[in-house]
């Protein structure tokens, strides 16, 4: 593993910051993050938006892949994501745990489980990350 290029708070910029995502753990083997279920992440019917769950899933997978590559030469970008929404959630916090299924030179595949405070499964996702050369 290469050194992680940020503190646990720095990945929460852009969309992650707007959604309140907080990184708790970051290694090549595991990424853990939380996200509030509130007005930023709920859909109009008052439950956690599936798109918010997918954004959380891709965030942890992308950050995990970035921790595993040579960042001087490559970047890690989301290529494909799919998810199954198992249970609804109206408030509180969800936690995403991402673990790699495959770490290759050109792509990574990460498995992501999103749970509630009682560890009930809210969503399960799989995300493919492309590892591409940095442009000069």
Average pLDDT (23-28) is: 93
Residues marked active site are found at 58
- How far from the centroid of its chain's Cα atoms is residue 37's Cα? 15
Phi, psi of 63 (to 5 degrees): -65, -40
Contact 91, 38 (CB under 8 A): yes
Q: Which domains does the chain have, with CATH numbers?
A: 15-133 (3.10.129.10)
**What tens digit of pLDDT does each residue of 74-123 get?**
999 999 999 999 999 999 999 999 999 999 999 999 999 999 999 999 99
Q: What percent of the chain clears pLDDT 90, i.e. is strictly above it?
A: 88
**What tens digit of pLDDT does each residue of 38-87 get?**
999 999 999 999 999 999 999 999 999 999 999 999 999 999 999 999 99
Closest by CA to 63, choosing from 105, 94, 21, 93, is 21
C-alpha Rg value of the chain to the nearest Å: 14
């Amino acid at each position: 593993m290469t050194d992680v290029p940020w503190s646990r708070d720095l990945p929460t910029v852009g969309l992650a910051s707007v959604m309140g995502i907080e990184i708790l753990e970051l290694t090549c083997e595991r990424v853990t993050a939380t996200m509030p279920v509130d007005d930023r992440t709920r859909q109009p019917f008052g439950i956690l938006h599936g798109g918010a769950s997918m954004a959380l899933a891709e965030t942890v997978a992308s950050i995990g892949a970035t921790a595993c590559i040579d960042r001087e030469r490559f970047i890690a970008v989301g290529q494909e994501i799919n998810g199954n929404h198992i249970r609804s959630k109206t408030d509180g916090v969800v936690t995403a745990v991402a673990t790699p299924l495959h770490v290759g030179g050109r792509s990574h595949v990460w498995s992501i489980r999103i749970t509630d405070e009682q560890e009930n499964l809210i969503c399960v996702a799989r995300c493919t990350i492309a590892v591409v050369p940095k442009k000069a």
